[in-house]
Structure 1
Amino acid sequence: MSTKLTELLNIKHPIIQAPMFLVSNVAMVTEAMKCGIAGCIPALNYRTLEELRAAIKALKANKGDGGAFGFNLIVNKSNPKAKDQLRVICEEGCDFILTSLGNPEETIREAHAVGIKVFCDITNLQYAQKVESLDADAVVAVNNQAGGHRGNLSPQDLIATLVENLKIPVISAGGVGQKSDIDKMLSYGAVGVSVGSPFIASEEASVTDEYKQACVDYGANDIVMTERISGTPCTVINTPYVQKIGTKSTWIESILNKNKKLKKWVKMIRFSIGMKATEKAAKKATYKTVWVAGPSIEHTKAILPTKEIIKRLIT
């Protein structure tokens, strides 16, 4: 299946295994590359720059003829490691960087200088036109079916709007759990898809079996939005614990978020607290579980090897 995305990354199928905090790892992406798709890992999955550098070296060693790999960078002030992570990635090299939650101007400039392509997460036309003006290679259109931080528009509406108004390619993110979903996104005008949640229940994922099994046991109707992780609405599985703590920001956070001077710091603190809680839930099974996932877990019926999940997406 040849599209602009397969040409950009020299891959066999127009699919990016989406970067997922704590879930994505070298083993998952290696299997993705073997199957002819691209894989992406959040740079924040690595606590130190040495660990990030080692992961890049391992992926380069594992890369075959038909795959590609990249890293996700959160480029706003909630990630003080961004500059150093960008430096290491550019020094070691990869096929692409996927930016999220901020201004990607520096990332695009530095990455292009060493031949790395840059795709930017967007949720609306205004921001898409901004990153196009900065010379991004493509946009990743995050729709209202995505897991994690998602957009407000349906896949069809968002893709159609972007294709009509942009010159750069549009990659769709959200709502893909099987091949018919990919066909649908391509029919709307996307050049490929970014798929995350179905891979949580992969054998290679770096999370507990309880988290993986939750993606099997729960479905699309069990996904809710919460403000309690990062301060920005995020999709999670509606476990009993999530029901207990609620999904809205605390009253103190709500008041502070209205203060322009304090809002940035409140979001940084909430992001830090939320990431630690998510990490604890992903790596240790307790009654306090907050599991991030999207509605495409509807098609997850068993914990499977990554290659079997990809087979479901391409056949």
Structure 2
Amino acid sequence: MYPCSNPELVAAAAEGGGLAIMQPVSLTYVHGWDLREGIRYMRTLTDKPIGFNALIEKGSKKYFEKMNGWIDIALEEGIRFFVTSLGKPDWVCEKVHAYGGVVYHDVTNRKWAEKGKECGVDGLICVNDRAGGHLG
């Protein structure tokens, strides 16, 4: 997803029948899009669903506030599938579920799977601890 998640790639994945997930850091910082405008541009390229990848770690207050705002924008723009990692997804579940959306959480072991389940995630993405994905 990072750094190659540009609007054209996400739209092509969606058009091809894939579960197309956009990565906001990639879209904004690497490819230079304003998040809302990038999502709207993707919508001109595909009418298929797209998802949102949220790295929800709280190590940086500035980053956390930015991600929180990005999630709000994604919801306002009609995105209803979210993938979370690197944090406790309870607050994301609360926001997304209020819009009728779905949250899957990246996990590398049973501990993180159980924590995700306790937070209300709708599904788990089980990745190896050596994979490119980020753990619970």
Q: Give the Å deviation of 1:24.
A: 1.0
Q: Give the Å deviation of 1:91.
A: 1.4
Q: How does 1:78-97 map to 2 (within 5 A)?
A: 78=59, 79-80=63-64, 81-97=66-82
1:69 aligns with 2:50: yes
Q: Which has the larger radius of gyration?
A: 1
Asked if structure 2 preserves the Cα contact closer than 8 Å seen for 1:93 and 1:116, the reply is no
Residue by residue, what CA displacement relative to the aligned partner does 1:87-132 show, whole Å, maximum 9, x if unpaired?
Answer: 1112112131111100111111001111221111111111111211
Q: CA RMSD in A?
A: 2.1
Q: How does 1:67-216 map to 2 (within 5 A)?
A: 67-78=48-59, 79-80=63-64, 81-144=66-129, 146-147=131-132, 149=134
Q: Give the Å deviation of 1:145.
A: 5.5
Aligned length: 128
Q: Sort the Cα spacing of 1:60 and 1:42 in 2 relative to 1 into closer, same or farther, 3 A.
A: same
Unaligned runs of 5+ in 1: 1-19, 152-315
Residue by residue, what CA displacement relative to the aligned partner does 1:116-161 show, whole Å, maximum 9, x if unpaired?
Answer: 211111111111112112221111111146225479xxxxxxxxxx
SS in 1 for 2:121: coil
What does residue 8 of structure 2 align with? 27
Q: Give the Å deviation of 1:29.
A: 1.0
Of all paired residues, the percent bearing the same amino acid is 31
Asked if structure 2 preserves the Cα contact closer than 8 Å seen for 1:56 and 1:93, the reply is no
Q: Give the Å deviation of 1:34.
A: 1.2
TM-score if structure 2 supplies the norm length? 0.82
Asked if structure 2 preserves the Cα contact closer than 8 Å seen for 1:24 and 1:41, the reply is yes
SS in 2 for 1:61: helix
